[in-house]
Chains A and B, each alone.
Chain A
Amino acid sequence: MNFKLILNIAFHLLQARLKQTIVAAVGVTFSIAMFIALVSFMNGLNDLLDGLMLNRTPHVLLYNEIKPSENQPIFLSKEFKNKTNFIRSIKPKDIGKSIYNSKTIIAVLKKDTRVIDVAPKVTSPVFFNSGTIEISGVINGIDVLSEEKLFKISDYIVDGNVTDLLQNNSIIIGKGLSDKMLLSKGDIIKITTSKGNLASLKIVGISEIGIAEIDNVMSYTSLATAQKIVGESTNYITDIQINLYDRTSAPAVAKEFRNTFNLDTIDYQTANSQFETGSTVRSIISYAVGVVLLIVAGFGIYNILNMMIYEKMDSIAILKATGFSGNDVQWIFISLSIIIGLAGGLFGLLFGYIFSSIIDIIPFETASLPTVKTYPINYNPLYYGIGITFALFTTTIAGLFPALKASKIDPVEIIRGK
């Protein structure tokens, strides 16, 4: 088959019906542009919310939960072994929040190929003192470098630098805390632990996540400083945070680590199930709207090709009489719709990008999201790939039926009809 000739004929047919062709292509352009803008915006929104909450949550968290011990003394007694035992008023046993043998566990985890990195943490409730006021809060002793690698905490530092935490006796406090206590970068803050230990730390930064409950209580310091404040050795770790290469495997991995290390674990999915659902729903909506728009555009193309076939009956008859087979004619009309789909689709990508860029500069300021200044957009090239594939797919399908019809036109009927 001579595709050059077939394309040539298709182009000439298009030129003769330029206006309708443009209308058909604009339909595709519009739907692809809307699809791109919508998907980019929705995913931008998803990323924003993910970043707000999900990205701050480790995929798997290892810790010690305060709970009653599972083996009560009575279970050990041979005498009551086969009896049903009722025990009342069980009190949880304080085995301490410290993770036993934490150094070894971290070393083992770091060697695990599924693990991106491990970030150990010490959390402790504290009181912040400034003058006469005393505010309860939490201090997080973090391994600055791995914490930054896993959770990008520098994104939330509005004043100061996260690496300054590497200096001894430095602290970054939440915006809510700094506002309440009238403290700013460079000031000294006094801290009392629940056990009565006292410490004075220098504020090297202010963090703001955008969630008031967190910003009002949270503070960060280095692992060593935190251990010193709570008066524990350098082995003292209360949480081990792990991020995995494959986020979806977190529940399985969490279960495995629970058994291996005999610790409590919680996985990302369990901790954030409500956020995940929201993200999925938003994705589904944007794809559904895109597909609906494209189907509408597909009907437009179908109509125009059908009309073109009625108008070009004579031309089709003469092409067939002079030696073009039904197959050739079919390809002429399929190429027509592919040309419309490709041209419309490419312009759609362009306009989709332009629309996204416009949304990207529209101001969007809300008290709960202080780090966000404009509407979020995700410029993932994948959406553009999906867009053009959708466009070509629907236009080809829309062109297929008219093309089949054209290939079946009986030239004798047309010629006799004159």
Chain B
Amino acid sequence: MENNVILETKGLSKYFYDPVKFQVLKEIEMRINYGEFVSIVGKSGCGKSTLLYLLSTMDTAYDGQIYIHNQLVTGKTDRELALIRNEKIGFVFQFHYLLAEYNVLKNVMLPGMKLGKYSDQELENRAMKHLKTLDMEDQALKMPNQLSGGQKQRVAIARALINDPLIIMGDEPTGNLDKKNSDLVFDIFNRLTQEENQTLLVVTHDTDFANRTTRIITMEDGKIIS
């Protein structure tokens, strides 16, 4: 067992039954190693998002197995999966999904408060540190609706980082941003891999973005072709 494998799938298949039975993912075999910055590309509708939802443990209706850190997650209970998401996976979506009821700082701290590993004071320091590296420390006390799209996305990245996850997953995290902001997000991701050895798995349509990552997985029709 190689210890530097963060994420691995075995014969991963997924069907949709509505309106007709349809196989979205076909026997996906993939492996992501520690410290890699991987992008997934492919035509619209080829199943990228679907794959990511499976890998994130949020969607549990599939055939095959998923291993996170060499640990089988297939078949675990809702509660166990929630803990895995909380502890080991950070998410950045195309839409920011910040909680409108909390300010930026609290939004970043929330997954940490759930994990309960650090005291609130420590969490606040850590959150501020992440916001600072994302150049957002002066926005910490704003409410999400007072931020621009790019700023929201950076808050979402800070939130993904708060529990030192094994892997950060993103579904078109720059899809909603202009060139300048996408570059900024890319730079942040790049810096994370280079400086912190953070593992990243990002679905993108942006070929520029993909070309700058360490590995590109290309999908077509529910299969990995390269």
- Residues of A at the B interface (CB closer than 8 Å) are 2, 5, 9, 12-13, 15-16, 314-315, 317-328, 410-412, 415-416, 418
Chain B residue at smallest Cβ distance from A315: B99
CB distance B78 to A323 under 8 Å? no
Q: Do A321 and B114 have beta carbons less than 8 Å apart? A: no
Whether B78 lies near A325 (C-beta < 8 A) is yes
Complexed CA–CA distance, A325 and B57 (Å):
12
Q: Kindly report which residue of chain A lies nearest to residue B86, judged by CB atoms.
A: A323
Known: A13-B101, A412-B53. A322 touches B114 (CB 8 A): yes
B56: A residues at CB distance < 8 A? 321
User: Given the complex of chains A and B, what is the CA–CA distance between A415 and B79 in angstroms?
Assistant: 20
B78–A326 touching, CB < 8 Å: yes
Query: Which chain B positions have C-beta within 8 A of A322?
Result: 85-86, 91, 110-111, 114, 159
Considering only CB atoms, which chain A residue lies closest to B160 in the complex? A322
Contacts of B87 in A (CB 8 A): 323
Beta-carbon nearest neighbor of A418 in chain B: B95
Do B113 and A2 touch across chains, with their CB atoms under 8 A apart? yes
B1 on interface, CB distance cutoff 8 Å: no
A-B contact count (CB 8 A): 78
Complex contact B97–A321 (CB within 8 A)? yes
A327 touches B78 (CB 8 A): yes
User: From residue B89, how far is it (CB to closest CB) to chain A in Å?
Assistant: 8
Docked-complex contact A323 and B102, CB < 8 angstroms: no
| B78-107 vs A, Cβ < 8 Å mask (1 yes, 0 no) | 110111011100010111011111100000
Question: Bound complex: CA of A418 vs CA of B81, how far in Å?
Answer: 23
Q: With A321-B85, A323-B115 given, is the CB distance from A314 to B97 under 8 Å? A: yes
Q: From A15, A314, A319, A412, name the one whose CB has the most chain B CB atoms within 10 angstroms.
A: A412
Q: Which chain A residue lies CB-closest to B56?
A: A321
In the A-B complex, the 9 residue pairs with the closest CB atoms:
A323-B86, A325-B82, A12-B101, A318-B97, A322-B111, A325-B79, A323-B85, A412-B53, A412-B59
- What is the size category of the interface that chain B forms with chain A? 20 to 34
Q: Which residues of B contact A5 (CB under 8 A)?
A: 113-114
Chain A neighbourhood of B97, CB < 8 A: 314, 317-318, 321, 415
Chain B residue contacts of A327, Cβ below 8 A = 78-79
Query: What DSSP secondary structure best describes chain A's contact surface?
Result: helix
Assuming the contacts A12-B102, A13-B101, A418-B94, asked whether A323 and B58 have C-beta atoms less than 8 A apart, the reply is: no
User: Quick one: which of B86, B94, B101, B115 contacts A315, CB cutoff 8 A?
Assistant: B101
Q: Which residues of A contact B59 (CB under 8 A)?
A: 410, 412
- B97 CB to closest chain A CB (Å) equals 4
Question: A16, B101: Cβ atoms under 8 Å?
Answer: yes
Residues of B within 8 A of A412 (CB): 53, 58-59
> Which single residue of chain A is at the shortest CB-CB distance from B159?
A322
Which residues of chain A are near B115, meaning CB under 8 Å? Answer: 323
| B114 cross-chain contacts in A, Cβ below 8 A | 2, 5, 322-324, 328
Q: Which residues of B contact A15 (CB under 8 A)?
A: 101
A78 CA to B111 CA, complexed, in Å: 102
Q: Write 5 A-B pairs (CB below 8 A) sorted by A numbering.
A: A2-B113, A12-B102, A411-B58, A415-B97, A416-B49
User: Which residues of B are found within 8 Å of A13, using beta-carbon distances?
Assistant: 101
CA distance A16 to B113 in the complex (A): 21
- Compute how far the CA of A375 lies from the CA of B200 in the bound complex, rounded to whole angstroms: 75
Residue of B nearest to A311 (CB): B100
Is the Cβ of A320 less than 8 Å from the Cβ of B113? no
Q: How far is the CA of A16 from the CA of B143 in the complex (A)?
A: 12
- CB neighbours (8 Å) of B45 from chain A are none
Query: In the bound complex, how far is the Cα of B116 from the Cα of A334, in angstroms?
Result: 22
Q: How far is the CA of A320 from the CA of B94 in the complex (A)?
A: 17
Among the interface residues B97, B113, B115, which one has the most CB atoms of the partner chain A within 10 A? B97
Determine which of A2, A318, A328, A418 lies in contact with B99 in the assembled complex, contact meaning CB atoms within 8 Å.
A318
Q: Is the CB of B102 within 8 A of A324?
A: no
The answer for the CA separation of A416 and B45 in the assembled complex, in Å, is: 12
How far apart are the CA atoms of A287 and B21 in the complex, in Å?
Answer: 56
A321 pairs with B58, CB closer than 8 A: yes
Across the interface, do A16 and B95 meet the contact criterion of CB distance under 8 Å? Answer: no
A13 CA to B102 CA in the complex, in Å? 9
| Alpha-carbon gap, A320 to B91, bound state (A) | 11
Do A320 and B101 touch (CB < 8 A)? no
- Bound-state Cα–Cα, A15 to B102, Å: 11
**In the complex, which of the residues B82, B93, B95, B100 contacts A323, with contact meaning CB atoms closer than 8 Å?**
B82
- In the complex, which residue of chain A has the Cβ closest to the Cβ of B176? A418
Using CB atoms, name the residue of chain A closest to B98.
A318
For the complex formed, measure the closest distance between the CB of A316 and the CB atoms of chain B, giving whole angstroms: 10
CA A410 – CA B86 in complex, angstroms? 17
| Distance (whole angstroms) from the CB of B199 to the closest CB of chain A | 18
Chain B residues whose C-beta falls within 8 Å of the C-beta of A320 in the assembled complex: 58, 82
In angstroms, Cα B91 to Cα A260, docked, is: 86
Cα A328 to Cα B91 in complex, Å, equals: 19
Residue from B85, B101, B102 whose CB has the most chain A CB atoms within 10 Å: B101
In the assembled complex, how far is the CB of residue A322 from the closest CB belonging to chain B, in whole angstroms? 4
